[in-house]
A and B are shown apart, each in its own frame.
Chain A
């Protein structure tokens, strides 16, 4: 186990070479050298079209890809590597589930329950399925402070419910949802549970079996891996009965003019030449995280979050979305500054070299929902989000700028 302290910054070139405070990790994380080197090594030494050639290089490429699948399965405690389907990102993973499982299992009059806190990526595919299949999307609202009341889910679930889609950690409020309790209820009704792990995967240990998730999705780029590689975990029994989503090379067993037999899972869902370089990068990123371990990562990110929250609590004109308790944030702190529009807030931060995000963070329904309690018309916010390489001095720099914003805006 490697000790996690400020020295970790040394292995992140962008972090090391720029005088910025990068606090937009919820959008994407920076990449450590070991990930960049692994990708480079793959292309330098092992690149060939995997699965196709019988020569040595192609075997090496296939091995590199399948080893990454094994690593991903182990990382989230899937039962078997064949339950890991590589995609481009979390969005594509949800689309795969929606088009394949959703379109084949949801019928007219059925219901899909989606939490109001979802990123558009875990909402729009379900709205589309509902539209096409004449089914209904039912919204599961959080309480004003951001937590979900499990009894309200019980009330929404019925024999019509086919799918429940919810995020593990919200990308706006940072709140973690009790997926284990939710999955129990969902399974009692015979529905399946789709969990969006995009904001959880780099910040807490994920165990899909323990959670009881039928599907679990995430993106590599939010966990120190390259962009363009993501994961769709699905329980094997479900994957086996699902039709393919994309059609083409590599996803068939045999094709005649009349008949096509599809390949086994997971290859059935991976049409065309796959992203081996990305998978290799993801593998290296998972190894990187494991070198430090989630115990240290959680402790460091919570420490940094608490420095941020302590400072923000002192500023009465700052409204923290989702309350000021560290345990509810998972490194994500969205907020509003009284009298200043979130885009102006982010602009002032940008001008001071602090990278934060403004907008509705692809969660418009949640912002509209929360705005009604906050008594504001502004349905957006500014968000700072922490990763394992951030430091106390960066958070202090963030707080310094935050305390200056109203003055700069003439207030």
Chain B
């Protein structure tokens, strides 16, 4: 038995995150918590003309929750709200029921968290950032 979850990519995003910081010009903020582990993140987005121009988060928690949020922030910058929602749905699908080859490719770096789908205790950690983002942007889409 060997550790499959903690590879270099996860460790890198956890130890040296690119987007774990305060976002000065953020116009949307939402806090997400995972009560079972006590992971918490505050997601900050700068959204203009229906596009996520910048994303960042702050918080504390296990490597899975923090790395997943960092990967997500990296992926959604420059995306429209619809595209971001689509990615979030895909990610949740990957964890909950599994995805096709093509869908996995679409998820790009986030696909490395696929193995979490077999780890019920870690699911909530992996989806924390994605769930929070989805919650944040869902109501905005209705307004447009």
Interface 9-mer from B11-19, B49-57, B89-97: B11-19
Q: Could you say which residues of chain A place their CB within 8 Å of the CB of B15?
A: 409-411
**Is B125 located at the chain interface by the 8 A CB criterion?**
yes
Please report which residues of chain A, range 321-345, place their CB below 8 angstroms from some CB of chain B when the two chains form the complex: 340-344
Chain B window 34-71, contacts with chain A (Cβ cutoff 8 Å), 1 for yes, 0 for no: 00111100000000000000000000111110000000
**Is A380 located at the chain interface by the 8 A CB criterion?**
yes
CB-CB under 8 A for A343 and B3, given A410-B12, A410-B15, A411-B15: no
Contact of A343 among B11, B12, B14, B37 (CB under 8 A): B37
Chain B window 1-28, contacts with chain A (Cβ cutoff 8 Å), 1 for yes, 0 for no: 1111110100110110000000000000
Size bracket, chain A contacts: 20 to 34
Complex CA–CA separation, A409 to B15 (angstroms): 9
Please report which residues of chain A, range 390-411, place their CB below 8 angstroms from some CB of chain B when the two chains form the complex: 408-411
Q: Could you say which residues of chain B place their CB within 8 Å of the CB of A351?
A: 1-5
**Is A227 located at the chain interface by the 8 A CB criterion?**
no
Q: Is the CB of B62 within 8 A of A343?
A: yes
Q: Is the CB of B38 within 8 A of A348?
A: no
Q: Is the CB of A344 within 8 A of B64?
A: yes
Q: Is the CB of A410 within 8 A of B37?
A: no
Residue picked from B3, B4, B8, most chain A C-beta under 10 Å: B3
Q: Could you say which residues of chain B place their CB within 8 Å of the CB of A340?
A: 63
Residue picked from B12, B14, B39, B125, most chain A C-beta under 10 Å: B14
Cβ distance A22 to chain B, nearest Cβ, rounded Å: 14
**Is A228 located at the chain interface by the 8 A CB criterion?**
no
**Is B122 located at the chain interface by the 8 A CB criterion?**
yes
Q: Is the CB of A410 within 8 A of B14?
A: yes
**Is A353 located at the chain interface by the 8 A CB criterion?**
yes
Q: Which partner residue on chain A sits nearest B119 by CB separation?
A: A347
Q: Is the CB of A341 within 8 A of B62?
A: yes
Q: Which partner residue on chain B sits nearest A380 by CB separation?
A: B38
Q: Is the CB of B38 within 8 A of A409?
A: no
**Is A142 located at the chain interface by the 8 A CB criterion?**
no
Q: Is the CB of B11 within 8 A of A410?
A: yes
Residue picked from B61, B62, B63, most chain A C-beta under 10 Å: B62
**Is A222 located at the chain interface by the 8 A CB criterion?**
no
Q: Could you say which residues of chain A place their CB within 8 Å of the CB of B125?
A: 343
Complex CA–CA separation, A344 to B60 (angstroms): 13
Complex CA–CA separation, A380 to B11 (angstroms): 21
Q: Is the CB of A344 within 8 A of B63?
A: yes
Contact of A348 among B3, B8, B39, B122 (CB under 8 A): B3
Q: Is the CB of A409 within 8 A of B14?
A: yes
Cβ distance A257 to chain B, nearest Cβ, rounded Å: 48
Complex CA–CA separation, A389 to B38 (angstroms): 32
Q: Could you say which residues of chain A place their CB within 8 Å of the CB of B60?
A: 377-378
**Is A360 located at the chain interface by the 8 A CB criterion?**
yes
What are 25 contact pairs spanning A and B, CB under 8 A? A341-B62, A342-B62, A343-B37, A343-B61, A343-B62, A343-B122, A343-B125, A344-B6, A344-B64, A347-B62, A348-B6, A351-B4, A351-B5, A353-B1, A359-B36, A359-B37, A359-B38, A378-B60, A379-B38, A408-B3, A409-B6, A409-B11, A409-B14, A410-B6, A410-B12
Could you list which residues of chain A lie within 8 angstroms of chain B, going by C-beta atoms? 340-344, 347-348, 351-353, 358-360, 377-380, 408-411
